[in-house]
């Protein structure tokens, strides 16, 4: 059964400092472009009903604030229960301080196209003070790449290489050449020394009869 999923998302827009007189505001008094490129990983499949939370990792750029820095955060997908998709992204600024973007798409099912693609939010700095606001959007031209990035993760554990080849090798003296190469590459060459599988001594014509071993009469 599927366990979780992974997908990539790019959103871009503009941000505006709330206090032009601050150091951040002087560096970029009229704001500027902002963009994040992240990978989202969730422990379960996304669904319309209920809430699914996951982790974000990637990069973020904001003019005058951060230039293509590493970013991590969380995503909460709850389109019906809470009618929102929330993003929190933590990133270091060019000034060495820690910042966070926090915003959410407010889902309105009568305006699906706009509300699923528009992400307003705030940028906070040290001491949780608000240093700016931002509005990002998902571009529909990026939809094919987003869909191509979706991966569903399963819970089935990887099978043992010897078990996989067991149907082709009956434990004889000469295992298949492909199996030998595989086991040597994977560090399992010692398993080639396993004793051959015991062969039945019952004549072919009475294969369904249990052989008799002992000094008395068979039961």
The model's pLDDT over 75-130, given as tens digits with 9 standing for 90+, comes to: 999 988 889 999 999 999 998 999 999 999 999 888 988 899 999 999 999 888 99
Is residue 128 packed enough to be buried (19+ CB in 10 Å), middle (13-18) or exposed (0-12)?
exposed
User: Measured between alpha carbons, how far is 189 from 180 in angstroms, rounded to an integer?
Assistant: 7
Q: Could you read off the pLDDT of 39-82 as tens digits, one per residue?
A: 999 988 878 788 899 999 999 999 989 999 999 999 999 988 88
* Sign of CA pseudo-dihedral 190, 193, 194, 197: positive
Highest mean pLDDT among 7-21, 43-57, 92-106, 191-205: 92-106
Which pLDDT score is estimated for 210? 53
Q: Which helix (H) or strand (E) holds 28?
A: none
Where would I find the beta strands (DSSP E) of the chain? 2-17, 32-42, 52-62, 66-78, 84-92, 98-106, 118-124, 130-137, 151-154
Which pLDDT score is estimated for 76? 94
Which pLDDT score is estimated for 137? 95
Q: How many CA atoms lie within 13 A of 15 on its CB side?
A: 33
Which pLDDT score is estimated for 4? 86
Which pLDDT score is estimated for 130? 92
| Residue for token pair 């020394």 | 193
Residue 216 pLDDT greater than 60, yes or no: no
Tokens representing residue 79 in the block: 């389109």
SS3 7: strand
User: Measured between alpha carbons, how far is 59 from 12 in angstroms, rounded to an integer?
Assistant: 12
User: Measured between alpha carbons, how far is 58 from 47 in angstroms, rounded to an integer?
Assistant: 23
Highest mean pLDDT among 61-65, 186-190, 206-210: 61-65
Task: Please provide the average confidence, as pLDDT, over all residues in the chain.
Answer: 78
Q: Which helix (H) or strand (E) holds 138?
A: none
User: Measured between alpha carbons, how far is 15 from 133 in angstroms, rounded to an integer?
Assistant: 6
Under DSSP, the state recorded for 142 is G
| Residue for token pair 């039945």 | 200
């Amino acid at each position: 059964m599927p366990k979780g999923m992974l997908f990539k998302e790019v959103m871009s827009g503009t941000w505006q400092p709330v206090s032009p007189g601050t150091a951040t505001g002087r560096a970029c008094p009229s704001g500027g472009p902002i963009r994040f490129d992240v990978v989202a990983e969730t422990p379960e499949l996304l669904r319309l009903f209920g809430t699914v939370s996951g982790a974000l990792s990637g990069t973020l750029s904001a003019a005058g604030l951060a230039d293509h820095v590493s970013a991590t955060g969380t995503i909460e997908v709850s389109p019906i229960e809470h009618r929102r998709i929330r993003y929190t992204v933590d990133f270091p600024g060019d000034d060495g301080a820690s910042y966070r973007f926090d915003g959410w798409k407010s889902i309105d099912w009568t305006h699906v196209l706009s509300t699923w693609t528009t992400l307003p939010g705030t940028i906070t700095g040290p001491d949780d003070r608000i240093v700016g606001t931002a509005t990002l959007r998902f571009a529909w031209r990026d939809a094919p790449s987003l869909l191509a990035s979706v991966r569903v993760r399963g819970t089935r554990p990887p099978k043992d290489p010897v078990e996989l080849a067991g149907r082709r090798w009956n434990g004889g003296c000469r295992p298949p050449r492909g199996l030998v190469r595989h086991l040597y590459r994977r560090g399992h060459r010692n398993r080639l020394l396993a004793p051959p599988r015991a062969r039945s001594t019952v004549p072919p014509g009475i294969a369904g009869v249990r052989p008799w071993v002992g000094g008395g009469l068979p039961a």
